[in-house]
């Protein structure tokens, strides 16, 4: 593939990941928000709300993961390295939260 064709392919894949992530999290958050004001459904609402937040947070991470995969397929090792570094930094956030909560 030519460089522009590779770039277009990556853009398409990233677009799909972002669209799915935003769609799924918006649905979960909207449903959770609505259910939280229905008496007796607060447990279900909490699950949906947390699911919506987690999907929202995972979407950019997923975008980085598929980019790393795509760069690996193209044997563009410099960019595989860069995207994996970003992934480590994102993981660092989760580790930092655990350290602050003294779970580590």
Partner 1 sequence: MPDVTPALALIIFGAGAVAGGLGALLGIGGGVFLVPFLNLGLNFPFTVAAAISLTTVIATSSSVSAGRTGQQLINMRLGMVLEVATAGGSLLGGVTAQMVAQSILQKLFGLVTAVVALIMLSRLNRRNVILDPSAQPGTLGGRYYEDESGATVTYRVKRMPIALAASFVAGNVSSLLGIGGGVIKVPVLNAWCGVPLRAAAATSAFMIGVTATAGAVIYYGRGQLVPLLAAAAVLGVQFGSWTGMHIGARASARWLKLLMAIVLFIVSVLMFVRGVR
Minimum Å gap between C-beta 7 and partner 1 is 7
Minimum Å gap between C-beta 43 and partner 1 is 13
- Round to whole Å and give the CA distance between 11 and 17: 10
Q: Where are the alpha helices (DSSP H) in 1-104?
A: 3-35, 42-73, 77-100
Which of these, 65, 32, 26, lies nearest to 49 by C-alpha position?
32
Per-residue tokens: 50: 């947390």
Of the two residues 75 and 101, which places its CB atom closer to partner 1 in the complex?
101
Minimum Å gap between C-beta 37 and partner 1 is 5
Write out the residues near partner 1 by the rule CB under 8 A.
Answer: 7-8, 10-12, 14-15, 18-19, 21-22, 25-26, 29-30, 32-33, 36-37, 45-46, 49-50, 52-53, 56-57, 59-61, 63-64, 67, 79, 82-83, 85-86, 89-90, 92-94, 96-98, 100-101
């Amino acid at each position: 593939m030519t460089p522009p064709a590779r770039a277009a392919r990556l853009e398409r894949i990233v677009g799909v990941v972002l669209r799915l992530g935003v769609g799924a999290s918006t649905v979960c958050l909207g449903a959770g928000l609505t259910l939280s004001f229905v008496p007796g459904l607060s447990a279900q609402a909490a699950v949906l709300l947390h699911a919506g937040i987690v999907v929202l947070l995972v979407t950019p991470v997923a975008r980085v993961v598929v980019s790393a995969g795509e760069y690996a397929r193209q044997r563009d090792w410099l960019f595989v390295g860069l995207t994996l570094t970003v992934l480590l930094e994102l993981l660092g956030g989760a580790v930092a939260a655990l350290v602050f909560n003294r779970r580590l």
